[in-house]
Amino acid sequence: MAFSLQIENEFVQNSERVKSVDLHPTEPWILVGLYSGTISIWNHHTKTEEKSFKISESPVRSAKFIARENWIVAATDDQFIRVYDYQNTEKVTEFKAHKDYIRSLVIHPTLPYVISASDDQVLKVWDWTNGWSSIQNFEGHSHYVMQVALNPNDESSFATASLDGTLKIWKLNSSTSNLTLEGHLKGVNCVEYFTSNDKHYLLSGSDDYTAKVWDYRTKNVVQTLEGHKNNVTTVCTHPEFPILITASEDNTVKIWDSVTYRLQTTLNFGLERVWSIGYKKGSHQLAFGCDKGFIIVKIDCSSQNLRAAKQD
């Protein structure tokens, strides 16, 4: 079914390079992780910064809300994971987690687990009810592990993207992957699950300038999304609308129909390279972290007029 998009800018904040963005599930907050080693919480209703933590001299590549604990968890290039209580701004804990840069964190939706992915080629599961101990390691990639994504249809399963050019799918109870997907010509930076017409897929983005849609049950590439002119840094499958979103070091965001895979629109916010995308269920908002700051846009697929607002 064809649709039209309406996109409007709600909040633009110029800053230094934003490597990570995350939207709080209930509060009007966006958590940004900066290359400078700072994490900040901004209220996108009042357009004001509510809290800021200088946590490291090294870049923050991933920062997430753990809303059920009132925490923020952040990972940095100094190989540490740090946890803060965002109500009283106190540090809960910090620990050296990996032997190299930590690229990605995900929060398990029901279990007290954080999964981390690192340039040391290892993934780890951390249990915060057990003193933040590492309860499982996952090894098998032969280059940096750039991102990890949980399967929303199977909470015991997750996927990873690596600069070794592959995607792997894992189970929480097994230290070795049960599936490897190959097809990108260069390293893979990002991965996410999505469902379309009751079928389950993976979406990946690569340094080969493409994104790919995978039927991971058959290990086949369903579609290659072409058009970016530089590395695809992050991808997103919108929880409310039938769209796929890809972002790139070519400074653009592209929005695709998740059924036909046709390109719907290309956005350029004027904030240079795009590094991260944030979203939450039940919301029409998307957040993008870029070289020159972050932006929150409101998206609607019901309008008959295609309009992509851009920053002057």
Kindly write down the DSSP assignment for every residue of 5-40, as one continuous string: -EEEEEEEEE-S-EEEEEE-SSSSEEEEEETTSEEE
User: Residue 307's pLDDT band (boundaries 50, 70, 90)?
Assistant: very low
Contact 247, 267 (CB under 8 A): no
Q: What average pLDDT does range 12-35 have in this prediction? A: 97
Between CA 251 and CA 228 the distance in angstroms is: 9
Residues 6+ positions from 149 with CB-CB distance below 8 Å: 106, 158, 159, 160, 191, 192, 193
Q: What average pLDDT does range 193-220 have in this prediction? A: 95
Give residue 148's pLDDT. 98
Distance set, CA 307 to CA 47, 70, 187, 214 (Å): 23, 37, 33, 30
Give residue 3's pLDDT. 65
pLDDT, tens digit, for every residue of 40-89? 999 999 999 999 999 999 999 999 999 999 999 999 999 999 999 999 99
User: Residue 298's pLDDT band (boundaries 50, 70, 90)?
Assistant: very high
Q: What average pLDDT does range 261-290 have in this prediction? A: 95
Q: Which fold has domain 3-303?
A: Methylamine Dehydrogenase; Chain H (2.130.10)
Helix ranges (H only) for 51-143 are none
* Predicted structure pTM score: 0.94
Give residue 301's pLDDT. 80
Q: What average pLDDT does range 116-124 have in this prediction? A: 98
Give residue 5's pLDDT. 82
